[in-house]
Structure 1
């Protein structure tokens, strides 16, 4: 039986806009499991990114609870949430946010040193991760502006994984990349998931969504349905057809 990693009960998020209350997330009950590659889909404005930010502690819900293990992280102070994100979460965004004035290696080590002072161990882990994402040693001393978009995003994945997070959150990680470099990034995420890394990814792209084993479809702030695709296998036509059928049923 899969182990529950994160769980929400009655998760809701509202904003005040022009004097009116906008309900972005509505009473969401959800369980996320260790080792899963969970994909969150839905039309623009459905609440996908808001849900991801709430699950990761980047935003606080208006109502409801979020449990991480035995801890209710929705009750945490902003300082304690910052520690939770630093120690337990990795983040990959559409915008990569590497620091231009630092080398590729220093960008990664800077994130690692927030948690560990063992620079030798961090350096060894960084080198192993760079090798795993096919970033050659010749690029480690380069600056982010000297990298291609795909290389920079793979460096972003290394930075996100340097502290061995329990969950990797990805928000449209291929959204700003061309088809080839986007495929490289998806392959990288799939390889880490195969090794046991839990991934939660927001995407509007069907090619990206096929990498998940579990698809959640949001509509108007609620989970309208979900689809179990099983583990990703390259070239699985039945997988594509199952996802297509599910999305059509959801009104995609």
Structure 2
């Protein structure tokens, strides 16, 4: 039986713009399962990133609740939310946000040492993860500006993983990459998911969406449809056809 790790109840988010209330999320009831590679899709303005930020504790809902491993997070103070994110969440964005004045290894250690003061253990884990994502030792001492986009994004994934997060949240992680670099990043995320890592990813890209086992399609602040694809298998034409048919039905 699928274990639910994130559950929302009537999740809503509104913003005020020019004195007018804009309702971005509307009474969402949804669940994320352990080990799922959940994809959030939808047109621009559908509420995809707003939902991602709410689920991860980066933003607070206007109404409703979010249970993260049965812990209610929507009412936590900003300070407690920051600690919660540090302990439970990893983040990968379209922009890598690596610090240009620090080496790749030091970027990752800086994130890890926020949680643990055992520098030796954190360093060993960072090197192991860097190797796993295909970043060789000669890259570890380089600065972010000396890396290709794909290399920098893989380093950002390692930074997201250094504290062993329960969930990795990714917002258009391949959006600024060419097709080869994007595929390399998706391969890393897929391998992580195959090992049991729970991932929630926002994307508008069909190739990226195919990697997920569950697709949530958003429209006007609500989840308009759900597509269950099962585990990813490269070259699975039936899977590709099922996803395309679902997206056409959703009006993508």
Q: TM-score range by the shorter chain?
A: over 0.9
Per-residue deviation, 1:2 = 1.4
Q: 1:134 maps to what in 2?
A: 134
Question: Runs (4+) of structure 1 moved beyond 3 Å?
Answer: none
Per-residue deviation, 1:73 = 0.3
Q: 1:43 maps to what in 2?
A: 43
CA distance in 2, matches of 1:79, 1:10: 24
Deviations 1:10-36 (A, max 9, x none): 000000011110000000001101100
CA distance in 1, matches of 2:70, 2:199: 20
TM, length-normalised to structure 1? 0.99
Pair 1:188-2:188 in alignment: yes
Deviations 1:205-244 (A, max 9, x none): 0000000000000000000000000000001011110000
Deviations 1:125-169 (A, max 9, x none): 111100110000000000000000000000000000000000000
CA distance in 2, matches of 1:251, 1:185: 28
68-77 or 131-140, which deviates more: 68-77
Per-residue deviation, 1:70 = 2.3
Per-residue deviation, 1:246 = 0.1
Unpaired runs of at least 5, structure 1: none
CA distance in 2, matches of 1:208, 1:69: 27
Per-residue deviation, 1:96 = 0.5
Aligned residues: 252
Q: 2:144 maps to what in 1?
A: 144
Two-structure CA RMSD over aligned residues (Å) = 0.4
Pair 1:157-2:157 in alignment: yes
Q: 1:24 maps to what in 2?
A: 24
Pair 1:92-2:95 in alignment: no
Pair 1:236-2:232 in alignment: no
Per-residue deviation, 1:69 = 1.8
Q: Secondary structure at the match of 1:74?
A: coil
Unpaired runs of at least 5, structure 2: none
Tell me if the contact between 2:216 and 2:225 (Cα under 8 Å) persists in the aligned partners. Answer: yes
Q: 1:34 maps to what in 2?
A: 34
Per-residue deviation, 1:112 = 0.1
Q: 1:167 maps to what in 2?
A: 167
Tell me if the contact between 2:6 and 2:70 (Cα under 8 Å) persists in the aligned partners. Answer: no
CA distance in 2, matches of 1:173, 1:212: 14
